[in-house]
């Protein structure tokens, strides 16, 4: 039942690519051109588990390649790039066959591949290979990065079938009512985490489990029209039987067939993918510019000289003469493109290579719609930076350095400035690895005075290896930050990187305090919790430190730039649902697989974690029960008693216990519920109880030959044995033999049993039964004495088991328990991987998205290094690789407000050096005088946090005492550590009521 070893390795990727990902192992892909872009494509495909990746390059590695080709080492200089890259890629994923080819791309050679990717190739070669691939039905991709721009082209043939064109799970909703009419209207039930259904106009749907209007259950898929958040039109239902209750409406996705033009035709009549219509003229100009660049190279035998005005003008002439552009040519774009086209930038190669790799994965897995057919990307706004506009051909001339490709764009002085940077990277996961790799290539913090700190509390796990570039199988269980730092030092020995294993939070403020943040040139974050992100942002806001925040989910990603004082602060992210559901829903009225999976998670904790913890605490100190509320104490005592009295002697006892528990959960509990509320029960005359959001369940009958039943028994018995420190066993036949010998008493319903139907009733504590408490306590104390005196007693007696999403046995139990519960209630089951994702709250992830997002973030680093103070040069980025969409927009400016008769930005603060003429720390009165003298404000209250330093409403004696206090005296009184800067709040005379949260903070520097 559990996932295979490869599913454990690729599980996060499987959640993105679906079942089609299993085709990767049988695929063969050619990557031609092993400079920066080709290296990124090849690395992504190898990490993703592509069966065979063949590298092709006829050139030798040179020193300048090492600014963007991260697979090369110093010793590889002079070797063929493909052969030199083969070793590093083989180490990256031993499950992938990586080969090198240094000969011609003959037709016989090309015919063996499902996908061919060309990078760094001439237009003539692109046309020749493209014609052959189109004729043979081989998916063909061109990916090129030149300076600050990139180009991507896809031709997947005349008949390419996309099995699943969209991302995400199929939409499903519980039915509340269906009208008889033309059209019929389906009313869906709301869910805890949304206000209604998630269907869109035109979605195809099917129905299941509908009672009454049963004609819908066998009907072919029908399109829906969305009326509102809860209602759908589905066509004519006027002749169907009246709807009674129940049912699910489920989305169905059908395969799509797409056709693509060959490169030769697509050059002249380009179909270009853009995020908005306004971007189309720019992309058409880049389309012409790339063709003109090919013509220039054919004419001159080289790329244009960096910042060479004559060469740039010649490229522009060629673009005009080609007549390839659609509409007017933007000559400034062509000039800017040509002037830096000889440059090689790791971030641009990362972006273009990641986009190309995602298209390869689409070609193999047939998941998501391929690019149709051109995409252009540029970051030419970097050339508008102050300083960059004044660069000359001499400033950007090659120096024989590994950074020559970057110097060609930004100049030698800028490269020195990059080396002096001080940065903090928070998180060394998938995005963090890509950021660190890019920083090593760029030379960030690789010069005198440079300092790069990376911190991460986590260790390397198996599931990290398919998308976290810097880790190998030998690194599993090692600290991520330490391994990552060592890996980037191998890429660039000059980089000055220090690994930490700390969380950046309130507990580590002595280490990551104001002085630490203020000395930084920037912070780049790749955090996976909203709380950690919010805290980091607050630290950067306080210290005016630039922050680049990155995040991904499956094929989607984003980069947000917070640049004091130019941009709006990041602010709170949209909080996802917290994953909690009403207890009565989980216990009695589940209607989605999410409900049953959460119920299974609660079962896991209640069976294998909490009882063991309570038993161990009781064995250590029985008095711990006295610290619990009376109602809770009774529950804990019952748990302890159950665990001590049901201690298994061997694995067979564990199987018998699992069988009894199965009967209790999936038969007896449901039968009791139906005894209390029979299927025909009515809440009031004519109003059925089992309707709306209550689905009527049915009890299950155990069968040892039923795989679903047996898998539950095996997983449950294994965990029960582990908790009781009994050797487990996974022998299915032996388990079935034991199960057939188990005899259980027939179910006898309890009369008068009260079942809570509302959350409020669930949360109410039952009155404590003092007699029962005393009786249980006496029994347990006696049992404890017997165990402590016995030779077989172990300390601790039991092993608490905490749910781990990457433990197959744990997921086996969750999947089996949830699906049996779903069967009780007629809910469609979830497979093992889906159950693991939902129960483990796993965020889908794939290397292509993380690489592209890191590249986008590093483009903003360039601007920060320049010290850019022009808001129009910065970009926030949103990426959707499933649709091959990239949207880059200017960040919003900071909000402003009025206070004290003038306008303030959210970044403004009042700063005073709280040192008197005598060199001593100022008093509260000195601060009041400073505010009066400097701003004309009469302060009525002064606070630090919740501590009142001055309040005009107090009596004269208290005010006098407050005014003469030194600012740090309250710290000493509260035994807080000495601080060198205090942030004070104040209230002034004549303030508007709305000014409470809108006033500049006062920062006082202490001596």
State the SS3 of 151-196.
EEEEECCCCEEECECCCCCCCEEEEEEECCCCCCEEEECCECCECC
| The pLDDT of residue 996 | 63
SS3 readout for 819-865: HHHHHHCCCCCCCHHHHHHHHCCCCCCCHHHHHHHHHHHHHHHHHHH
The neighbouring-strand residues paired with 933 are none
SS3 content of the chain, % helix, strand, coil (to 5): 45, 15, 40
DSSP string, 567-584: S----PPPPPP-----HH
8 A C-beta contact, residue 801 and residue 723: yes
Q: Which residues of the chain have pLDDT under 50?
A: 1-2, 575-576, 760-766
- Which residues, other chains included, contact 741 with Cβ-Cβ below 8 Å and sequence gap of 6+? none
Distance CA 459, CA 429 (A): 10
Distance CA 38, CA 144 (A): 9
Distance CA 382, CA 147 (A): 11
CA-to-CA separations, 941 to 503, 986, 1000, in angstroms, rounded: 36, 5, 15
pLDDT tens digits for 798-846?
Answer: 999 999 998 999 999 999 999 999 999 988 899 998 999 999 988 888 9
- The three-state secondary structure class of 929 is helix
Burial group, residue 81, by CB count within 10 angstroms (0-12, 13-18, 19+)? buried
Distance CA 878, CA 887 (A): 5
| The pLDDT of residue 762 | 45
Beta-sheet pairing, 497-500 with 451-455: parallel
Structure tokens at 567: 């941009």
Residue (of 663, 657, 655, 659) closest to 731 by Cα position: 655
CA-to-CA separations, 118 to 109, 539, 685, 688, in angstroms, rounded: 14, 45, 73, 65
Distance CA 12, CA 21 (A): 11
Burial group, residue 614, by CB count within 10 angstroms (0-12, 13-18, 19+)? buried
Distance CA 890, CA 381 (A): 11
Ordered alpha helix ranges (H), 557-623: 583-588, 593-604, 610-620
The sheet carrying 947-951 orders its strands as 910-913, 1002-1005, 981-988, 939-944, 947-951
Q: Please state, as a whole number, how many other Cβ atoms lie within 10 Å of the Cβ of residue 442.
A: 26
| The pLDDT of residue 766 | 47
Distance CA 422, CA 520 (A): 5
- Which residues, other chains included, contact 85 with Cβ-Cβ below 8 Å and sequence gap of 6+? 34, 39, 42, 55, 57, 69, 71, 72, 100
Beta-sheet pairing, 556-562 with 547-553: antiparallel
Q: Please state, as a whole number, how many other Cβ atoms lie within 10 Å of the Cβ of residue 872.
A: 11
The neighbouring-strand residues paired with 31 are 55, 117
Active site residues: 584
Ordered alpha helix ranges (H), 3-143: 5-17, 36-48, 81-92, 107-110, 123-136
Element (H, E) at 548: strand 547-553
- Which residues, other chains included, contact 67 with Cβ-Cβ below 8 Å and sequence gap of 6+? 344, 346, 402, 403, 404, 405, 406, 441, 442, 443
Distance CA 672, CA 660 (A): 16
| The pLDDT of residue 711 | 96
Question: What is residue 749's DSSP assignment?
Answer: P
| The pLDDT of residue 209 | 86
Question: What is residue 61's DSSP assignment?
Answer: P
pTM of the model: 0.88
Ordered alpha helix ranges (H), 902-977: 924-935, 956-964, 969-973
Distance CA 844, CA 18 (A): 11
- Which residues, other chains included, contact 688 with Cβ-Cβ below 8 Å and sequence gap of 6+? 245, 680, 681, 682
Residue (of 618, 602, 611, 617) closest to 643 by Cα position: 611
Element (H, E) at 778: helix 770-789
- Which residues, other chains included, contact 513 with Cβ-Cβ below 8 Å and sequence gap of 6+? none
Element (H, E) at 319: helix 309-322
CA-to-CA separations, 75 to 81, 122, 207, in angstroms, rounded: 12, 28, 63
Structure tokens at 415: 């490269």
C-alpha gyration radius of the chain? 33
8 A C-beta contact, residue 444 and residue 860: no
Distance CA 395, CA 399 (A): 10
Structure tokens at 517: 């943040």
8 A C-beta contact, residue 625 and residue 831: no
């Amino acid at each position: 039942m559990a996932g295979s070893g490869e599913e454990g390795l690729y599980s996060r990727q499987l959640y993105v690519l679906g079942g089609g990902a299993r085709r990767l192992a049988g695929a063969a892909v050619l990557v031609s051109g092993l400079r920066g872009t080709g290296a990124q494509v090849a690395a992504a495909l190898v990490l993703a588990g592509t069966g065979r990746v063949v590298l092709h390059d006829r050139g030798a590695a040179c020193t300048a390649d090492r600014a963007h080709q991260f697979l090369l080492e110093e010793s590889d200089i002079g070797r063929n790039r493909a052969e030199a890259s083969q070793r590093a890629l083989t180490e990256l994923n031993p499950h992938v066959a990586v080969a090198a080819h240094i000969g011609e791309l003959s037709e016989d050679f090309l015919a063996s591949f499902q996908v061919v990717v060309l990078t760094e190739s001439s237009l003539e070669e692109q046309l020749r290979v493209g014609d052959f691939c189109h004729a043979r039905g081989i998916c063909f991709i061109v990916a090129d990065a030149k300076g600050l721009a990139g180009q991507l082209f896809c031709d997947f043939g005349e008949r390419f079938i996309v099995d699943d064109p969209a991302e995400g799970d199929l939409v499903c909703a519980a039915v509340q009512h269906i009208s008889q009419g033309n059209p019929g209207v389906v009313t869906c039930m709301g869910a805890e985490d949304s206000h209604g259904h998630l269907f869109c106009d035109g979605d195809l749907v099917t129905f299941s489990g509908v009672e009454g209007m049963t004609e819908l259950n066998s009907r072919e898929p029908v399109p829906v029209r969305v009326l509102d958040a809860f209602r759908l039109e589905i066509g004519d239902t006027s002749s169907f039987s009246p709807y009674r209750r129940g049912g699910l409406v489920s989305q169905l996705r059908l395969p799509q067939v797409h056709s693509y033009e060959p490169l030769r035709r697509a050059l002249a009549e380009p179909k270009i993918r853009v995020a908005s219509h306004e971007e189309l003229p720019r992309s058409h100009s880049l389309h012409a510019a790339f063709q003109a660049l090919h013509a220039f190279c054919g004419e001159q035998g080289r790329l244009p000289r960096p910042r060479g005005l004559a060469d740039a003008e010649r490229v522009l002439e060629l673009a005009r003469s080609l007549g390839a552009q659609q509409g007017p040519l933007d000559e400034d774009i062509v000039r800017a493109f040509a002037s830096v086209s000889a440059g090689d930038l790791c971030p641009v190669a990362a972006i273009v290579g990641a986009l190309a790799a995602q298209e390869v994965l689409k070609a193999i897995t047939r998941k998501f719609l391929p690019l149709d057919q051109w995409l252009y990307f540029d970051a030419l706004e970097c050339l508008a930076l102050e300083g960059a506009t004044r660069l000359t051909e001499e400033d950007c001339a090659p120096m024989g350095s590994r950074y020559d490709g970057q110097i060609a764009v930004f100049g030698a002085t800028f490269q020195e400035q990059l080396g002096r940077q001080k940065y903090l990277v928070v998180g060394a996961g998938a995005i963090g690895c890509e950021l660190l790799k890019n920083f090593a290539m760029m030379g960030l913090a690789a010069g005198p005075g440079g300092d790069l700190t990376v911190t991460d509390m986590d260790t390397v796990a198996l599931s990290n290896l398919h998308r976290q570039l810097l880790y190998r199988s030998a690194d599993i269980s090692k600290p991520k930050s330490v391994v990552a730092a060592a890996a980037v030092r191998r890429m660039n020995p000059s980089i000055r990187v220090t690994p930490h294993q700390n969380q950046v939070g309130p507990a580590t403020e002595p280490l990551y305090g104001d002085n630490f943040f203020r000395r930084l040139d920037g912070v780049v974050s790749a955090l996976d919790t909203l709380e950690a992100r919010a805290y980091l942002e607050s630290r950067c806001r306080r210290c005016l430190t630039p922050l680049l925040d990155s995040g991904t989910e499956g094929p989607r990603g984003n980069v947000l730039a917070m640049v004091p004082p130019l941009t709006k602060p990041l602010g709170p992210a949209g909080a996802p649902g917290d994953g909690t559901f009403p207890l009565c829903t989980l216990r009695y009225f589940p209607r989605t697989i999410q409900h049953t999976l959460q119920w299974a998670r609660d079962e896991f904790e209640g069976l294998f974690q909490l009882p063991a913890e309570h038993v161990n605490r009781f064995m250590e100190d029985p008095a711990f029960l006295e610290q619990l509320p009376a109602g809770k104490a009774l529950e804990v005592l019952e748990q302890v008693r159950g665990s001590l009295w049901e201690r298994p002697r061997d694995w067979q006892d564990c199987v018998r216990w699992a069988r009894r528990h199965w009967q209790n959960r999936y038969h007896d509990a449901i039968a009791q519920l139906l005894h209390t509320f029979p299927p025909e029960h009515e809440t009031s005359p004519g109003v059925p109880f089992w309707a709306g959001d209550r689905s009527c369940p049915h009890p299950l009958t155990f069968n040892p030959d039923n795989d679903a039943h047996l898998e539950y028994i095996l997983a449950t018995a294994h965990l029960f044995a582990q908790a009781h420190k009994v050797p487990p066993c996974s022998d299915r036949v032996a388990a079935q033999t034991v199960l057939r010998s188990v005899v259980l008493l027939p179910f006898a319903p309890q009369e008068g049993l009260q079942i809570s139907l509302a959350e409020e009733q669930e949360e109410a504590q039952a009155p404590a039964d003092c007699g029962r408490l005393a009786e249980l306590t006496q029994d347990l104390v006696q049992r404890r004495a017997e165990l402590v005196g016995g030779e077989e007693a172990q300390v601790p007696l039991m092993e608490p088991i905490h749910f781990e999403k990457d433990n197959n046995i744990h997921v086996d139990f969750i999947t089996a328990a949830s699906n049996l519960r779903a069967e009780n209630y007629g809910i469609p089951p979830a497979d093992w991987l889906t159950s693991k994702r939902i129960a483990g709250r796993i965020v889908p992830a794939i290397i292509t998205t993380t690489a592209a997002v890191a590249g986008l973030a590093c483009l903003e680093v360039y601007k920060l290094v320049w010290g850019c103070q022009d808001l129009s040069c910065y970009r926030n980025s949103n990426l959707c690789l499933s649709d091959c969409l990239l949207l880059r927009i200017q960040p919003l400016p900071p909000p402003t407000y009025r206070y004290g008769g003038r306008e303030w930005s959210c970044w403004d603060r009042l700063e005073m050096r709280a040192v008197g003429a005598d060199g001593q720390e100022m008093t509260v009165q000195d601060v009041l005088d400073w505010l009066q003298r400097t701003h004309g404000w009469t302060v009525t209250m002064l606070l630090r946090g919740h501590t009142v330093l001055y309040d005009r409403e107090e009596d004269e004696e208290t005010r006098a005492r407050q005014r003469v206090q030194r600012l740090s005296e309250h710290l000493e009184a509260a035994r807080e550590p000495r601080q060198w800067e205090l942030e004070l709040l104040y209230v002034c005379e004549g303030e508007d009521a709305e000014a409470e949260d809108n006033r500049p903070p006062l920062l006082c520097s202490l001596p």
